[in-house]
Amino acid sequence: MGIARAERIVVDGARCTERELRALASAPPATHLQVSRLRVSLAGLADLPHLQDLHLVDPGTLEGLERLQQLVSLTVYCFPKIHSLSPIGSLTNLKTLLVSTPPGYDAGRKCHRVESLEPLGRLGDLEALTLRGVLPDQGRLDALRALKGLRQLAITHVYAFGIDDYAGLARALPNTSGHCLQPYYEAHWTGTCRHGCGRARVALTAPPPRSPRMLCPDCDRARLERHVAAWMAIVNAG
């Protein structure tokens, strides 16, 4: 266990007991805590009244997380042993949530499967949500439609979601910003048009299976217009 400074604490969870977690309550007030490789219950952290931001790296369990009602920000990174997000759904004071797989997953287009995103739909005060490489077994993205207070949403590195998923979410969350809620967005990192016109390419959100995601808004205008029309038909339905 190590302390970098009074307001930020970094803990090696693999070497930490529940008793040692509880002992953090007697340390200088900490607002930010990072715990790596946690293998014991988080319940002891409920005694840290100043704790606002928790980063969990490779946790073996989320047991006790539901008791940390003081949290306003939570990051869960690299969590192959976790398949239920249920404890997160109890943290109704959360403003910011990031749930992410590590870079190695991205390279192989691999996703981490969880039971459902339904627990996240209970976070009514959430303002910013990032889901990277997270694929639910049930319900797809439907639960996120309840998050009417979201300002920012990022869903990336999951190729199983289609235009119905994203455009349906855009219809439910008209006041939320995010690339995943737009039919396409600028993709300057991919360079200019391969046909030589010089235009910066754009990325389609949920293109049809086995079709290119990147295209030129001029040279591929017809395809772009078809994609936007299909998207808007879903957004405007009902």
- CATH number at 18 reads 3.80.10.10
Chain Cα centroid distance, residue 80: 15
Write down the pLDDT at residue 1: 40
Pair 83, 42 in one domain: yes
Write down the pLDDT at residue 18: 85
Q: Which regions in the chain score pLDDT beneath 70?
A: 1-6, 105-108, 238
Cα pseudo-dihedral 132, 35, 116, 184, rounded to 10: -20
Distances (CA, A) of 28 to 19, 36, 166: 17, 20, 44
CB contact at 8 A, 109 and 159: yes
Distances (CA, A) of 171 to 3, 152, 235: 45, 15, 5
Pair 47, 117 in one domain: yes
Which domain-ending residue is among 163, 182, 201? Answer: 182
Q: Quote the domain boundaries for residue 208.
A: 183-238
Predicted TM-score (pTM) of the model is 0.92
